[in-house]
Amino acid sequence: MIIVENLRKRFGGKEVLKGISFTVKDGEIYGLLGPNGSGKSTTMRILSGIITDFEGKVIVGGVEVAKDPLQVKRIVGYVPETPALYESLTPAEFFSFVGGVRGIPKDILEERVRKLVEAFEIKKYMNQLIGTLSFGTKQKISLISSLLHDPKVLILDEAMNGLDPKSARIFRELLYEFKEEGKSIVFSTHVLALAELICDRVGIIYQGRIIAEGTVEELKEISKEERLEDVFLKLT
Ligand code: ADP
Ligand code: MG
């Protein structure tokens, strides 16, 4: 479902991705775990069709990102690290706007919004301006908006940040549902415990390279002498 081969990206003179490779199967949650500045968000933007000038091969849902970023945007649900919302709209207005842009039929849109708004318990905020809401509520709005077109692939950049424990649990259960439906999910985080809890496989990214990859169990095996936490802490 997702193939990344020898991905390189420079910003000006600085190479921030230095040949990254990984694959994600249908129904798999792949974690990109690494400290701040290691290249997670850049990788996520490339997978979502937002950054299109890079070297290497990136295929998402059968589509070559560099060739057809618009099609990638149609099949991907992308949650950026910082919610990108219109602060002067209400959530209700924002969801209709997103539905319109993505061409989602009105009745389907309304049903999806209703379900997700209920699950995340933000009904009471639906008619307040987004700019006046808390970061956690904005994060929930961002999550909901990324799911409205029923994407095949989810690219979640530090998507649990700012969620209260109950919402985090609801979100986790949603992810397991998506997994059952066969969606591929890339989940970036700098929190080891989250990767451990959520991901089927994890790639540890450090200074633009994946330095280790496997299930959390396998990674623990590799670093037998040391606890994985300690190995990871050294990098952060
Ligand atoms: P992470 O999400 O793991 O914290 P990022 O992908 O955001 O890492 O950043 C990786 C490196 O690329 C950092 O050194 C960051 O400063 C740099 N970087 C990210 N975006 C840009 C940009 N638009 N222009 C220049 N440098 C950038
Ligand atoms: Mg980041």
* Cα–Cα distances in angstroms (integers) from residue 89 to residues 41, 115, 129, 219, in the given order: 26, 20, 5, 45
Between CA 231 and CA 204 the distance in angstroms is: 11
pTM of the model: 0.92
Closest ligand 1 atom, CA of 42?
6
The alpha carbon dihedral of 197, 91, 162, 21 has a sign of positive
Nearest C-alpha neighbor of 38 from the set 211, 206, 234, 233? 206
Closest-CA residue, ligand 1 atom 22, reads 11
Pocket test for ligand 1, best of 41, 52, 158 (most atoms within 8 A of CB): 41
Kindly give the confidence (pLDDT) of every residue in the chain, 236 residues in length, as a single tens digit, with 9 standing for 90 and above: 999 999 999 999 999 999 999 999 999 999 999 989 999 999 999 999 999 999 999 999 999 999 999 999 999 999 999 888 999 999 999 999 999 999 999 999 999 999 999 999 999 999 999 999 999 999 999 999 999 999 999 999 999 888 888 889 999 999 999 999 999 999 999 988 889 899 999 999 999 999 989 998 887 776 655 556 666 666 65
Q: Which ligand is nearest to the CA of 205?
A: 1
